Amino acid sequence: MELDWDADRPVALVGLDRSALLGRSDVPLVEIFTADEQRERTSQAYFRSAVGTRLRCTGYEAAKSPDADSAVVAQRDETTGIEVRTTLTRPHGTRALRIQSTIENTGTGPVVLTAASTATFGLGTSETALDGFALAYAHSEWLAENRWRTTPVRDLLPSIDLAFHGQDGRGHFSYGSHGAWSTGEHLAAGLLTDAASGEALAWQLETSATWLCDLAQARTGAVLSLLGPTDLEHHFAHELQPGDSFTTIPVALALSDAGRDGALAEMTRYRRWAREPREADTALPIVYNDFMNTLMGQPSTEALNPLIDSAAAAGAEYFCIDAGWFADPAIGDWWATVGEWREAPVRFTGGLKQVIDRIHSRGMRSGLWLEPEVVGVKSPAAQTLPAEAFFHRFGARVQEHERYHLDFRHRAARAHLDDTVDHLVADYGISYLKLDYNINPGVGTDWRGAAPGAGLLGHTRAFRDWLAAVQHRHPDLLIENCSSGAMRADAALLAVSHLQSTTDQQDYRRYPPIAAAAPATILPEQCGNWAYPHADMTAEETAFTLVTGLSGRLYLSGFLHRLRVEQSALVADAVAVHKRLRDRLPRAVPFWPLGLPAWDAQVVCLGLDCSDGETLLAVWDRADAASDIHLPGVSGTVTEVFPQSLAPWAIDHDRRGLTLRTVPGHTARLFRFDTERT
């Protein structure tokens, strides 16, 4: 990593591995906006801030550790007394860089931060360089996650001949999040490619609160700012009294000479470095969950018993009882009653413990669903917990869809959930928690903060700390970050959880583009892809949903005991395949022979390069008729791994790659290549 500064300029990130794409000395690394001072020169972009322009380097330290090199650079603005210490960490084994700053007020009066970039840097070295740039970013919403699109930068920032005007641009293009679903509108990531050099730069923002990616243009090229919450977009303000400090959200950059797939492979390696050790999950056990297209939040002893038996027979290793275990079935819709997290006394014949004992007796471990951050308006906890333990705005408790939102900065909120988890582990012997997050309470809470956006950021950081502490207290407990089917599937939470449910999508035909694109932001070993076979499915349709599961971490659901014999055989085959191949997932890096899939793509393809001469390839064909699918750059000895009991697809090699001939109907296959792809 290369930094540059002098007595008249702030610190700038000018390179990573001497990239032709990344870095210019005219772009300050850190931009700081305050209530008193915004930009030095007017624009709509998060660039050229008054404070950021005045920062000057006051010190630099470098350090080495067994797994990373790091540098800490200090800067100061003499006008305000703001000091910034930026830590840049370069993990070994990947072309990635992690950046985070701490901003301290060393002056004599208060300063109100309204925005602060974690990383701002230049891309390209001229205005004309933007002509060859393309930006990839992803829309995401409930049931339609991970919808990547690639757009020429010139479609976003028009050529306006800034050199002729003698000024930098004033416009910008930005995308980000609003409210508490960090990935509910866009994924907290992006990628920029340069046609001239073939380089690609990927980035991710590591927060469960709000964030912003801001792209602008200057006479000298493009400028990218990566920020946490801002005043304009997220109702953010943070007051720094003399001696106070604020830490920005972390961001990560990854660079490759091999284009999009190369940059995302580097980011995949970085994510493995950034995760906390996961000793309890090294085997990647197969989980069965009773929700998706099955009990849908209405469990009972009678409904669960055959599911438990059939899941065990299929080879599942964990059985998770989803929502509803805490609710009296007589009340019907239990949505507004959640929050006590105690067993419903009349839902289970013989009690919930008897059901869980049955799970254990069938050789599986048990799990339960929780939504820890919410309390229903009809729950006793809404009255017993102190008022300050909930989100507030303008003096009133925030309510969204008949629920209140807990603030994990408050000791009572954390204690309530600590008691809940300790009780479930001690009294029921559970080993798995599926953590959901089904409301978006808006911009946040103004309790103990200058603005609600700061309260939301504080809560999400406290929740992450609580989640890490739970696992240190219960090291054998596996944690699924469901979050309303990936509405909060951000890097901050993924680093402290075991797996991520990739969607709530119940239509197996619409799932492939979600599953295939998920490894762009989620580690393959964390991609919990649902496979939910149903008795009404044909054998090919059954295999289709199972390939979806096998394209990441197989996550079973469905009425398995109702399946036909041939369907049950396919499930058993898929389970055996996953158990045989799952040790590859923690070293696999994703690639996309046909590109990141469009939402309505007929053919969807995901490759997983296992770095040992073995490559896995999942291919889905959503056409009614048989198709010819050409996969460029893929060669080697091909084996159809799953399914093996159905008619195989025809396989043909030539110098250009691989051609597959599918069978009619919605159909999918998992292949293995015994040599590396070209």
| Among 96, 125, 135, residue whose Cα is nearest residue 16 | 96
CA distance 333 to 345: 17
CA distance 591 to 609: 7
For 348, the token pair is: 């289970």
| Among 75, 13, 10, residue whose Cα is nearest residue 40 | 10
Residue type, 356: I
139, containing H or E segment: strand 133-141
Look at residue 279 in the predicted model and tell me its pLDDT. Answer: 79
Q: Which residues of the chain carry a pLDDT beneath 70? A: 675-678
Concatenated DSSP letters for 490-529?
A: -HHHHTTSSEEE------TTTSHHHHHHGGGTS-GGGEEE
Task: Name residues whose C-beta falls within 8 Å of residue 20's C-beta, 6 or more positions apart in sequence.
Answer: 194, 196, 197, 199
CA distance 337 to 402: 9
Look at residue 234 in the predicted model and tell me its pLDDT. Answer: 98
For 425, the token pair is: 């582990």
Task: Name residues whose C-beta falls within 8 Å of residue 488's C-beta, 6 or more positions apart in sequence.
Answer: 180, 181, 182, 183, 184, 208, 437, 481
The residue assigned the tokens 């050789």 is 363
Burial level of 185, CB count in 10 A (0-12/13-18/19+)?
middle
CA distance 238 to 678: 51
Q: CB–CB of 502/140 below 8 Å?
A: no
| Among 409, 461, 407, 34, residue whose Cα is nearest residue 237 | 34
Q: CB–CB of 661/649 below 8 Å?
A: yes
Look at residue 675 in the predicted model and tell me its pLDDT. Answer: 62
pTM listed for this prediction: 0.97
Look at residue 655 in the predicted model and tell me its pLDDT. Answer: 76
Q: CB–CB of 254/266 below 8 Å?
A: yes
107, 524, 645 from 641: Cα distances, Å: 65, 18, 10
The residue assigned the tokens 């304009």 is 232
Q: Phi and psi (nearest 5°) for 375?
A: -135, 125
The residue assigned the tokens 């996550």 is 555
**How many CB atoms are located within 10 Å of the residue 361 CB?**
10
Q: Phi and psi (nearest 5°) for 489?
A: -95, 60
For 16, the token pair is: 């990573």
Task: Name residues whose C-beta falls within 8 Å of residue 465's C-beta, 6 or more positions apart in sequence.
Answer: none
Residue type, 403: R
For 30, the token pair is: 């850190």
The residue assigned the tokens 């998060």 is 46
CA distance 275 to 499: 12
| Among 556, 607, 614, 605, residue whose Cα is nearest residue 580 | 614
607, containing H or E segment: strand 603-609
